[in-house]
Structure 1
Amino acid sequence: MTDPDDSALRSVTLPAAWDDEAAQALAQITLNGGPVRLAAEAARWVDTIDACPPLPGTPANTPSPGRSLSYLLLMQQMAPNTALWQCQPDQTPGFTIRLSSFVQETGFAAEHFVACLRLACDALRRLHAVTRIERTGELPLFDLPAQPEDEAAGLILLSDLDACLAALGLDYDSDDARNAACAMAALATTVARAGTKLSPPSIPESPLPGLRTIASSVCATEEGRHFCPIETGFSSPAPTEGLLGVETCGLAPAFSPLREDGHLRASTLARLACRGLTPESALALALAGETPLPPVRPQAQAAMHAAVKNVVDFLPAVPEPDLADLQAKLARGVRRPLPMRQTGFTQRAAVGGHSLFMRTSEFEDGTLGEISLTPPRESPMARGLMDCLGHAVSIGLQYGAPLEAFVERFAYTRFGPAGTVEGDPSTAYATSMLDYAFRTLSEAYLGEHMPDAPRVEPSSEDPAPMLPFGRGSGESPEWKDRGRRLKLVS
């Protein structure tokens, strides 16, 4: 493989089923700069966990968790975080679990999910018992102020939620999807808190049957134990996501149906299959102007965040509304088609005596989707530039760019031709053709009337710049020589 930021080649050995993103993540996690082998790098943290003694009360014949953790990593179901991978005792260790890997033909494999969670909790608690003093920075010369069972032993993070919901036949922005996500997160927290002083969260009703029964059996099995709690949540962007091959990090939705290479995502194929559609039939619907899959609202992630926030210990920050809206609308490969029969208006006006034709086309909901700006009597270069600008703005609008951004950029721009506007009673003066066009669009599609800019009369132009002449009798020879080299032009 080749690091794009480094000209040096670096070989990475990993399973053939893993992709290039996993190789990049493995090279990023690994500290040494030489060749990287997954087996050798994983053996470090596996051996560290296996060297930890079992917890009190563990049956004598219980195998060490290292071998099982290795299998889960090879299947890309669970992977350690960077602190655990690099064996950093002063950092909080943890595991990230890919939810989509637990979906089978019969539905969500809750028993297998719980078994992986309990394995991760056991490994983190063993490690915590050995490295607790190094993590807290406390010296063993004094009594520790807190009991071990009061401290969190590590983290368990959930990821790839959207692909999991898609495999279950659920749309991300739906009540059933939010209930299912809340139930899975509550089950993870129940396993992490079993045998501790913390009470488990309640598991809501969801399309996933049997989760309440499984949670009750977990609590009954661990009753009477004195474990350290494990914190739960949803992951943030990290190299571990690349190792697991997740589609979307944590609880974030997939705004685009396409991957970076232009192919359909696995979640997109799953949602199409649930609707009885093939990629070919979905393409036919898209060409006919119909939407095969409902688009994800920018507010969908915030709604999912609010649904699961009470059943986990922490969550990544919710994106700002403007950033979420921009990410949703400018998703790669998602272009909103105009209807075959379009509505809009055509405006003929003159700015400073120069004619301008403006035509608009609208989407089904009445929002602006296309504009055309034609100055018929201008030079070929001016007509070509205005035509190209109209095409560029139209493409941006069809990909979801907000009209407000174009209005803010082009309204009140000053260049010729400019002057009195004829043919439009709502505007009397414009500083340029673009100023008139985009202020007209603001009034028509944003409902905001923008007043005319102050007129610039010839007598009110800026005075001529001050030149360094006549600086008095005390001026230096340097200024005299500089003045001789200046020339006034009209």
Structure 2
Amino acid sequence: MTARLHWTGVRMRTLRVTTDPDDSATRSVTLPAAWEDDAAQALTQITQSGGPLRLSTEAARWVDMIDACPPLPGTPANTPSPGRSLSCLLLMRQLAPNIALWERHTDEMPGFIVRLSGFVQDDGFAPEHFVACLKLACDSLRRLHATTRIERTGELPLFDLPVNPSEESAGLLLLTDLDACLASMGLDYDSEDGRNAAKAIAALATSIARAGTDLPLPSIPECKALPDLRGLAAQACATQEGRHLSPIETGFSAPGAVDALLGVEACGLAPVFSPLRDDGHLRASTLARLAHRGLTPESALALALAGETPLPPTRPEAHAAMHRFLEKSVDFLPELPEPELANLRAKLERGVRRPLPMRQTGFTQRTAVGGHNLFMRTSEFEDGTLGEISIIPTRESPMARGLMDCLGQAVSIGLQFGAPLEAFVERFAYTRFGPAGTVEGDPGAAYASSMLDYAFRTLSEAYLGQHMPDAPQIEPSSEDPSPMLPFDHSSGDSPRGRRLRLVS
């Protein structure tokens, strides 16, 4: 692949990534040394094929496919092929293809995801570089559309295609990491200046995507932080007049693996609610906002200890306000998340399922109950509440594994629809069935009457803050008061009556 040559001289590193928590198998992933481990995990989610992964090799597949497409009519003769520029933008984590283009699914809508925070430099937002990136992405999508148009319609060449190809959408152009971009510019997400700058950037992207088409251009508002966007958009659109190009749809991305590959702090137009990363360090957007206020992390900590607020918190309503403000600047926006409801039963009645975040926290517990190994994994919502549970008896029969897996999925669906964890704990704690016995691998429990007993008592302590003591142990010689068979209840000398005897 010729596009692999574009990565020559880039320092890479290789790490092992676990793709399935139920399996100890790992996968080798090679990516730039400056990228974090989460990007490697995202690459394994995007690329479903087995075997070792190299970012340069996987990127070369779609880059070479675009390079093989001939230029559009009216393109200057000295225009270079887009392959090298696309590879550089991916390396700088400013642009990446969506999954349809990454996996080369010609029957799905291809597109690019653009990380807005990647275009903020020391002197502010770089609109010229941003416009050049958008023009390159639009030209690449239109080249691909002209070449694979018949395949994308799902029709054979024997059938008639639409009369005017310029009315078909050639692809998607999605923006992401808006809040981190505003933070790097010194703007608050929940402010008029922040919303105005976001609308100006979104309208500029839509103007570039519609240049040379019959669609109207959105108005770009005046913005103090971005004073020259109107003139820049007019200049870029003037070069495309009269070409009758296919339109490119614009919008903001929804949470997905491509955003994780780009290293965004908040997908699409969503705000960054937490100033901390998952590892407890300050986010880059937090450091940028502190720097624009003339604060260092140490001085911000001192203010926080003194009872002052160094950074204003983002209101939950700010997301909806930004969503409404950008409605007419792009073609579509992702749906707003369902607001939290105080009454969980009302949430159940409405049938609203709360989605889990793409990057999930939780804990993993490996233990043994009565000598039988058990693997338990939890996933949490953004607020730290339990959202998913997986209970796998690793060395049991396929039927036992399947039943426990189905039970974990059923409980997870109930939690995501708002069912209280207390109800599941009350129902499954202290259940008695084999295997049962001594608990190994968890100092918080010594004995469990079943695997479910151990699992849900552990969840009670971890997420409800309620420690539940061990169930009383049953001696092997003691009588089980429950009948072995649903018949033979006659009274006798024995408290259980007569027993069934096998006679050879």
**If the length of structure 2 is used for normalisation, what is the TM-score?**
0.65
1:196 counterpart (207, 213, 221): 213
Q: What is the alpha-carbon distance in structure 1 between the residues aligned to residue 108 and residue 115 of structure 2?
A: 22
1:2 counterpart (14, 17, 22): 17
Please name the residue that 2:252 is paired with: 234
Please name the residue that 2:488 is paired with: 478
Q: CA RMSD in A?
A: 2.6
Tell me by how many angstroms 1:31 deviates.
Answer: 2.8
Tell me the SS of whatever aligns to 2:241.
coil
Corresponding position: 1:49 with 2:79: no
1:299/1:321 contact within 8 Å kept: no
Tell me by how many angstroms 1:480 deviates.
Answer: 3.6
1:374-389 → structure 2 map (5 Å cutoff): none
Corresponding position: 1:101 with 2:118: yes
Please name the residue that 1:206 is paired with: 223
Tell me the SS of whatever aligns to 2:43.
helix
1:31 counterpart (48, 51, 54): 48
Tell me the SS of whatever aligns to 1:322.
coil
Tell me the SS of whatever aligns to 1:321.
coil
Please name the residue that 1:366 is paired with: none
Q: Which segments of structure 1 move beyond 6 Å, counting only runs of 4 or more? A: 323-327
- After superposition, give the CA deviation of every residue in 1:203-259 in whole Å (9 maximum; x if it has no partner): 112231101111111221111111000000000111111221111111111110000
Please name the residue that 1:308 is paired with: 326
Please name the residue that 1:252 is paired with: 270
Tell me by how many angstroms 1:323 deviates.
Answer: 6.8
Q: What is the alpha-carbon distance in structure 2 between the residues aligned to residue 291 and residue 191 of structure 1?
A: 40
2:102 counterpart (61, 81, 85): 85
Please name the residue that 2:470 is paired with: none
1:436-447 → structure 2 map (5 Å cutoff): none
Residues 480 and 20 of structure 1, relative CA distance in 2, 3 Å threshold = same
Tell me by how many angstroms 1:289 deviates.
Answer: 1.1
Residues 44 and 484 of structure 1, relative CA distance in 2, 3 Å threshold = same
Tell me by how many angstroms 1:142 deviates.
Answer: 2.2
1:68-467 → structure 2 map (5 Å cutoff): 68-207=85-224, 208-322=226-340
Q: What is the alpha-carbon distance in structure 1 between the residues aligned to residue 273 and residue 35 of structure 2?
A: 24
**If the length of structure 1 is used for normalisation, what is the TM-score?**
0.67
Tell me by how many angstroms 1:138 deviates.
Answer: 1.3
- After superposition, give the CA deviation of every residue in 1:181-215 in whole Å (9 maximum; x if it has no partner): 00000000000000001011001122311011111
Please name the residue that 1:349 is paired with: none
Q: Which of the pair has more CA radius of gyration?
A: 1
Q: Paired residues, what number?
A: 344
1:298/1:325 contact within 8 Å kept: no
2:273/2:314 contact within 8 Å kept: yes
Tell me by how many angstroms 1:101 deviates.
Answer: 0.8
Residues 323 and 254 of structure 1, relative CA distance in 2, 3 Å threshold = farther
Q: Which sections of structure 1, spanning at least 5 residues, go unmatched?
A: 333-404, 410-475
Tell me the SS of whatever aligns to 1:52.
coil
Residues 323 and 202 of structure 1, relative CA distance in 2, 3 Å threshold = farther
Q: What is the alpha-carbon distance in structure 2 between the residues aligned to residue 13 and residue 479 of structure 1?
A: 68
2:17/2:40 contact within 8 Å kept: no
2:489/2:496 contact within 8 Å kept: no
